[in-house]
Amino acid sequence: MITSEQREKLRGWFAGRLPDDLFESLTEVTVDREEITVIGRIPEPRLAKGASDAEKKAAVRARVQEFRERTREDRVAVAREAEHRFGKKVSWGVECGGERALFTHIAAPVMTRLRQPERQVLDTLIAAGVARSRSDALAWCVRLVQRHTDDWLTELRDSLEHVQRVRAQGPDAEPQDAPADEE
């Protein structure tokens, strides 16, 4: 689990390292054990007044694709540096016209053991056509829980950060440098 301070330093590193003209704004930097995901806002395409929803959607998709191709070299250079520095893969995404698009990102395998009642839930989702496999069904369940428990998960993450801060003050913590006036 990464602390708020570590997350802020990571976001600051990307904010300072990204070319100024890459994004309109840096929207989000998220991190877990395997991956750092960097998402920025890009300008919406200019359309004629009264453009249809289909035209707007197609224009946004084209803008995202154009951005992805045009900025690939810059993004790869930053990602290589970040991967070396932080030991995690870097993935990219953009927000444009109210849509979010993620570029190549990691789908990390996760092992779990489920008892029959839990497997039956997954199999029901497959039978209903919600998912193609147990893996897809489990991912669907995780997204559902995530959508409905953001407040609870935020509170839990905050509590874990507090525990990490308290542990860092314990007897196994690295000693702090003594202030210069104590010598």
**Token pair for 133:** 């496999």
The answer to whether residues 96 and 63 touch, using CB atoms and an 8 Å cutoff, is yes
* Average pLDDT score, the chain: 88
Instruction: Tell how far CA 168 is from the center of its chain.
Output: 26
Q: In the structure, what pLDDT confidence band is assigned to residue 104 with cuts at 50, 70 and 90?
A: confident
% of the chain beyond a pLDDT of 90? 64
Q: pTM for the full model?
A: 0.69
Q: What is the mean pLDDT of residues 24-30?
A: 94
Contact 67, 22 (CB under 8 A): no
Mean pLDDT for 67-94 is 96
